Amino acid sequence: MDYVTLGRSGLKVSPLCLGCMSYGDTRRGWHGDWVLGEEESRPFIREAVEAGINFFDTANMYSGGLSEEVIGRLLPEFAHRDELVVATKAFLPWRQAPNAGGLSRKSLMQAIDDSLTRLNMDYVDLYQIHRWDDDTPIEETMKALHDIVKAGKARYIGASSMYAWQFAKAQEAARAHGWTPFISMQNHVNLLYREEEREMIPLCTDQGVGLIPWSPLARGRLARAADERTVRSETDGFGKTLYRQHEDADRAVIEAVGEIAAARGVERATVALAWHYSKPATIAPIVGATKPGHIASAVAATRLSLTAEEIAALEKPYQPKWPVGVESTAPRDLALTMRNAVGEGA
């Protein structure tokens, strides 16, 4: 596998990142019945490492922190720490109490220590803010993140879904004060949701920020026929809130993926992921793996070059959508929204 640098840094990552939201425990957090326990997760961690994937992404809120514990125990079984790039995130509340969430200095300092304890690591390679926090001045957040890096608890910092003006404001705060800037943006983009092409992706391309898209397969919708159902598609209520607009256009995109996959003799997921690599700012889509073949089809995408005609066919049915997944709100309000969505999905 060929490794690439993440943004304007010297950090070498695989062109695929294994998302670890699927590993933990359904009894903790608010994810669905598709989450795997530790023993069920082990084969996928092993396969990823053996395939050359060195980039692993989790968050302190996945399975109520158990995802971090699981990958912290499993990764050392298959690779040395210096060979791995481990990323985690903070923002959503870990307890219903003041300061137990958000991006204040107090919250971030507690969150990084808690994550390192669960991961059983001295540092993470990439520490990311999971959303924008309206309740905290961005200067306070960026200074706290800078101090976390200076303390050796994180090597680099990254951000996740927000509006482009917010990301630009954060980067400018860091630049103006000589603080650590973000090297990556983990944003929501795939063939069914391309609104990031308006502002965020051009901004990141111009500023040399690496993109590590979440949900590159639209929560699995691009990896199967439009009418096919899975446990996750039936129980992932938050996923349902992301893909409610222009369902006919989405179906046409999914059909185009299927047609190209059949013509090429590859899996649908391979085609949908290969589309990401046709975009210059994309570094490493974050893929999930819960079934045999998931990792193999993702790795195959790194070797598949789509033609200009195929890319045009995939993009033609798309209809513009109202932005979703970029919530700018208080962490407790967003947490409630996500919990309610899962309850609705169940």
pLDDT in tens, the chain (346 residues): 899 999 999 999 999 999 999 999 866 655 567 799 999 999 999 999 999 999 999 999 999 999 999 999 999 999 999 999 999 999 999 888 999 999 999 999 999 999 999 999 999 999 999 999 999 999 999 999 999 999 999 999 999 999 999 999 999 999 999 999 999 999 999 999 999 999 999 999 999 999 999 999 998 899 999 887 655 544 444 555 667 767 899 999 999 999 999 999 999 999 999 999 999 889 999 999 999 999 999 999 999 999 999 999 999 999 999 877 776 555 555 555 444 433 333 2
pLDDT attached to residue 25: 82
Give the N- to C-terminal CA distance of the chain in Å, as an integer: 39
Number of alpha carbons in the 13 Å side-chain half-sphere of residue 319: 11
The top-level CATH class assigned to 4-345 is: alpha beta
Do 194 and 325 form a contact (C-beta atoms < 8 A)? no
pTM value is 0.90
- Contact partners, residue 185, CB within 8 Å, separation at least 6: 158, 159, 160, 167, 200, 204, 209, 210, 211, 212
Q: Is 46 helix (H, G, I), strand (E, B) or coil?
A: helix
Choice among 23, 62, 127, 243 that is catalytic: 62
Has 62 been annotated as catalytic? yes
Round to whole Å and give the CA distance between 193 and 313: 16
pLDDT attached to residue 32: 60
Backbone angles phi, psi at 278, to 5 degrees: -80, -5
Kindly give the interhelix angle for 105-119 and 66-78, rounded to the nearest 10 degrees: 40
Do 188 and 324 form a contact (C-beta atoms < 8 A)? yes
pLDDT attached to residue 24: 92
pLDDT attached to residue 57: 98
